[in-house]
Amino acid sequence: MADVLPAEGEVTIGVAAPPEALWPLVSDPSVPARFSTELVEARFLEGESPHVGAEIEGRNANGEFTWTTRSTVIGCDEPTRFAWATGGAEEPAATWSLEIGRAEGGSTLTHRVVLHAGRPPLGPAIEAEPERASEIVDGRMATVLENMQRVVTGIAAMAEGSEGG
């Protein structure tokens, strides 16, 4: 497992809108669910708002499989970075961030992920079939990156005013 995890990936897009226009979209966990094929719904738990320590509940589906996640906000730096750890801040299964940078004509939006070793679902899958470790991680990362691209593209369209939201 040590040679395939952690696995890291990122996608970046240019956005014709200032960081301040992106921030409300980036810091709202329900927005990515509008664009992802796997994340069905996400929301702050009752009474929560974007701040370090806030908890997010997500509902996911992939084919016949459905699952719920609990994430903790680990970074909330308006208007530049919103980050969360899925599966607990101490030993997450994955850490995620949406980062906004200033750029000529607007902003850049970068979505990053780290899939961590030894945590479900990848850890048990790799333990069960260690000879397929690379294939398992590569397959999962392909799905994750595809959805991350959908999310940044959707957020950019919303910020630029071309998505009806």
Backbone angles phi and psi of 123, in degrees to 5: -55, -55
pLDDT per position as a tens digit, 99-139: 999 999 999 999 999 999 989 889 999 999 999 999 999 99
Query: What's the alpha-carbon Rg for the chain, to the nearest Å?
Result: 16
Quickly count: other Cβ atoms within 10 Å of residue 150's Cβ.
Answer: 19
Percent of the chain with pLDDT over 90: 92
pLDDT per position as a tens digit, 19-31: 999 999 999 999 9
Range of the domain at 112: 7-159
> Is 165 a domain residue?
no
pLDDT per position as a tens digit, 74-94: 999 999 999 999 998 999 999
pLDDT per position as a tens digit, 15-69: 999 999 999 999 999 999 999 999 999 999 988 899 999 999 999 999 999 999 9
**Residue 4 in tokens:** 């395939």
| pLDDT score for 135 | 96
Domain at 62, CATH number: 3.30.530.20
> Is 100 a domain residue?
yes
> Is 1 a domain residue?
no
> Is 91 a domain residue?
yes
**Residue 23 in tokens:** 């921030």
Residue 157 CA neighbour count, 13 Å, CB half: 14
Q: Is the pLDDT of residue 158 over 90?
A: yes
> Is 2 a domain residue?
no
Percent of the chain with pLDDT over 70: 96
Write the DSSP assignment of 25-46 as a string of letters. HHT-TTSGGGT-SSEEEEEE-T
| pLDDT score for 97 | 98
Total domains, the chain? 1
| pLDDT score for 3 | 81
> Is 164 a domain residue?
no
